[in-house]
Structure 1
Amino acid sequence: MTLPRSAAKGGLAAFLATGAGLAVHRLAARREAEWEARWQPTGRFIDVDGTRVHVHVEGEGPDLVLIHGAGGNMRDFTFSLMPRLARTHRVIAIDRPGMGYTGRTRPEYVEAFSTEAETPREQADLMVRAARQLGAERPVVLGHSFGGTIALAWACYFPDSVAALVLLGAASNRWKGGLGPTYEVNGTPVGGAAVVPMLTAFGPQSKLRSIVRQTFHPNAMPEGYADHLGAELTLRRDALRANARQVNNLKPHIIAMEGIYPSLTLPIERIHGAADRTVPFDIHAAPFQDMVPHTNLLRLEGVGHMPHHVAEDETAAAVDRAVAAARDVSIA
């Protein structure tokens, strides 16, 4: 006999209200407080139509917006790339909704039993409005991994507010199958309500560091990167739910954007590691190139999913080309 969903949800809610459930949440809250004390916001907060958005701005020059990937935060950029780019650009790094220190765009996205989360279009919309509030009306937008998806959504749905794109290991095209049990479980109502607090309360930080290291495969993770990134911030309950739901719900939005890609005319620089196992080249970069042939695609042999760390010179050069191309287009 299968219990109705409402009954199962009610039973789980009752369990979570017991001493054991409350103890898990207390421990989770204590760990979250420790992590937030260690990895505090690096920038400042702006209010974007009721959403608290964490932004970090450095430098002067052409406006460049940086969007981080899944399971991360803007610290991925502040480790080394952002200080370098800020020598010649005004660089704006933004935490995506539910990640780092940016809030959620709708109350229902915070609910433990929900499966809903911000779509790529919703996230891009928030980024557009945040950038405008900072005076960046038409910036060059750089996105890594899932952040590349958001950069593409920015160009697809708000084309008048972006000058050019720089895509780094970007998730751009449909793939076969699912995304693995971690995303699938954490994105369910039961997983969000019961499993996520357990991960926050008891998840080993050593395992998390190992996952971060694997993201660089086959390249070495830079010394000091894990301590700077603060990946533990992603182990917070709301961040785990946000990450799982955003990624779980991604594929249909990717498929919808594929229909728009051929109409894109803005300059696009794309760097993708040939050894990327997280966002494989043949599944994402190659078909995107067929859809948007004017893209300047740089395939990096022997490079995995983190080209902006492993090939920082090539990344900075791609940004310079995008800025120059955007300038040429505006003059013309």
Structure 2
Amino acid sequence: MSRVAAALALLASFGLTACAASREAATRAANPPQGQFVTVGGTRLHVVVAGQGPDLVLIHGASGSGRDMTFDLLGRLSDRYRVIVPDRPGFGYSDALPGGGTLRQQADLLADLAVELGADRPLVVGHSYGGSVALAWAVHRPQNAAGLVTLAGASHPWDGDLSLFYRVTSSAVGRAVAVPAITALVPEGTVSGMVESVFAPQTEPEGYAEYFGPLMSASRKTLAANAQQRATLSDELAVQSRQYPVIDLPVEVLHGDADTTVGLEIHARPLSREVPGARLTVLPGVGHMPHHADPEAVVAVIDRAAARAGLR
């Protein structure tokens, strides 16, 4: 590469970085923190705590933040639970872990956060990727959990290669070049459309996009953390799933039979067979966002898990 071309490339890189930083600042200003900050083991985490009663932790899925849980579900539960809603490491306003953080590292960190907040044995609820983290919590920190609920949770490995997008954005070069370019240049409508598509076959609730802040998911920190976590998920679940038969907690598994993101037959059904005493609830016609598509069914399952755990 000539010196002129190298200089132009360097200037372009600086320009993208500056543009990405400016866009992130504007997005944060439009979507300020909703809760408090707690530092656990050197990692600063953002968490919303609301309500009174037995402790309940809600763990959000991939590419999102705790705002997915506080949009509607929090309000349905905070009248009788003390609800703890963290931003997972690398998402929302929480710091990222090196390499994105394994399932166990995230589970340990969130369990330590709960203990720091006085919740020694909460009921743990996880959606999608958050379900994977909740299962890691049940496997590795059972002494700090009263019970477990998975909502469209990813629990087992699956066939298929990692998509090109995640192969690029999880690589060192991709994080250095592609991720800042995406943050700086991706149209907000494109990100909003991707968020909306996750609700299929249901539609996105009115007001969700404005509340959720789709561009928060397009920050450099979140894009990198999400890609790194997604790149290792199937392999991690291949190991983690071998330990499900030793889970000795009340477990409720809820899944929609129209979920094309995390398949019922690959994840929820085998999970319900492998965990002793697990109960499976299948929601007909519901896709990947059951806590928005049928929140009353989700609340009923959470209440049942709490009762089985002796919390209600």
On whether the aligned pair clears a TM of 0.5, the verdict is: yes
In structure 2, relative to structure 1, the CA distance for the partners of 1:16 and 1:297 (3 Å cut) is: farther
Q: Could you state the TM-score of these two structures normalised by the residue count of structure 1?
A: 0.90
Match among 119, 132, 140 for residue 149 of structure 1: 132
| Secondary structure of the structure 2 residue equivalent to 1:141 | strand
Deviation at 1:231, TM superposition (A): 1.9
Residue matched to 2:29 = 37
Residue matched to 1:58 = 50
| Secondary structure of the structure 1 residue equivalent to 2:260 | coil
CA contact (8 A) 2:90 2:100 kept: no
Q: Which stretches in structure 1 are left out of the alignment for 5+ residues? A: 1-10, 110-115
- Tell me how large the CA RMSD over aligned residues is: 1.7
Match among 61, 70, 74 for residue 78 of structure 1: 70
CA contact (8 A) 2:253 2:272 kept: no
Matched, 1:23 2:15: yes
Match among 48, 57, 61 for residue 69 of structure 1: 61
CA contact (8 A) 1:16 1:194 kept: no
Match among 33, 37, 40 for residue 48 of structure 1: 40
Deviation at 1:293, TM superposition (A): 4.9
Show CA shifts across 1:65-93 (max 9, x none): 01000000000011111011001100000
CA contact (8 A) 2:149 2:302 kept: yes
Match among 259, 263, 267 for residue 276 of structure 1: 259
Matched, 1:300 2:292: no
Question: What percentage of residue pairs aligned between the two structures are identical?
Answer: 45
CA contact (8 A) 2:102 2:229 kept: yes
Amino acid at match of 2:176: A
Aligned length: 309
Show CA shifts across 1:249-308 (max 9, x none): 112210111110011121111110100011011111112122125211111110000000
Residue matched to 2:195 = 212
In structure 2, relative to structure 1, the CA distance for the partners of 1:179 and 1:293 (3 Å cut) is: farther
Residue matched to 1:198 = 181
Q: Distance in 2 between matches of 1:201 and 1:134?
A: 36
Q: Distance in 2 between matches of 1:248 and 1:180?
A: 9
Amino acid at match of 1:200: T
Matched, 1:311 2:274: no
Q: Could you state the TM-score of these two structures normalised by the residue count of structure 2?
A: 0.96
Residue matched to 1:244 = 227
Q: Which stretches in structure 2 are left out of the alignment for 5+ residues? A: none
Deviation at 1:104, TM superposition (A): 2.2
Residue matched to 2:213 = 230
Alignment of 1:150-169 (within 5 A): 150-169=133-152
Amino acid at match of 2:204: M
Runs of 4+, deviation exceeding 4 Å: 14-17
Q: Distance in 2 between matches of 1:162 and 1:181?
A: 37
| Secondary structure of the structure 2 residue equivalent to 1:143 | strand
Q: Distance in 1 between matches of 2:247 and 2:276?
A: 10
Residue matched to 2:92 = 100
Residue matched to 2:117 = 134
Q: Distance in 1 between matches of 2:8 and 2:274?
A: 48
| Secondary structure of the structure 2 residue equivalent to 1:249 | helix
Q: Distance in 2 between matches of 1:178 and 1:304?
A: 23
Show CA shifts across 1:131-162 (max 9, x none): 00000000000000000000000000111110
Matched, 1:255 2:247: no
Q: Distance in 2 between matches of 1:310 and 1:182?
A: 28
Q: Distance in 2 between matches of 1:291 and 1:218?
A: 29
In structure 2, relative to structure 1, the CA distance for the partners of 1:16 and 1:264 (3 Å cut) is: farther
| Secondary structure of the structure 2 residue equivalent to 1:190 | helix
